[in-house]
Amino acid sequence: MSQKIFMLPTNGTIAQAKDMMVKNDIGVIIIVDKLKDPQPLGIMTEYDIVMQFYDQQGQLELKDIKDYMRKYVRAVPVETSVFQTNKLMLEKNMRRALVVDGTKMVGIITQTTICRFFYPNLDLIEKAANDPKAELRKFSLEAEIHGEFHGEHLKVYDIG
C-alpha cells in the first residue's frame, strides 16, 4: 500500500483535484471533512474528472467538489492481506481501496500496487502453469465478504 493519501476538503474544487492528480501522477483523491485529523467523506477519481470535463463541455467549473464526489469510500482493515484485498477488489470490481485502522486512514492500495507486489513471482507462476502435472485453478472466493458502514461514508470490508 501507499502510505501517502492525497486529500481535499469538501470545499475543494474539481480543478484543484485535477491539478493534484496531474502534479502527483495519481488517480484518486479522498475527500475529507477537514485536513487536520481527517475523516473520509467521499472519493474523486481520474474517471470522475474526465466525466466532469465531458459533461461540462471541456470546462471544469470551480464548484465545490462535494457536489461531484462519490459519496462513500470503500476500505479494508490494515490487517487484511494483499491476497484477501486482491480477491475483494476482483469480486467487487474495485480499482482501489482505502486502508484503515478503525476509522483512521493509514494508506491506499490500488490494482497497480497489487500488480507490483505479485510481479517478482510471475516467473514461478508461469512455470507452475506450464507443468503438465500442475493443478492450478481459476481464482475463486471461498470466504464470504461482508461490508459494514462506519458512519455514512466509509464502508469497510471484512473478509472471513
CB of 1 closer than 8 Å to CB of 96: no
User: In angstroms, how far apart are the furthest CA atoms of the chain?
Assistant: 60
Share of the chain above pLDDT 70, in %: 86
The CATH code that applies to domain 7-159 is 3.10.580.10
Q: What is the pLDDT of residues 44-78, one digit of tens each?
A: 999 888 888 777 776 666 667 888 899 989 999 99
Across all residues in the chain, what is the average pLDDT? 85
Global pTM reads: 0.76
Q: Residue 155 — very low, low, confident or very high, per pLDDT cuts 50/70/90?
A: confident
Among 104-108, 142-146, 151-155, whose mean pLDDT is lowest? 142-146
Question: What residues contact 78, with CB distance under 8 A and at least 6 apart?
Answer: 99, 100, 101, 106, 107
Please say if the pLDDT value at position 141 is more than 50.
Answer: no
- 142 vs 42, more confident: 42
What residues does each domain of the chain span?
Answer: 7-159
- 137 vs 127, more confident: 127
**Cell representation of residue 113:** 500496487
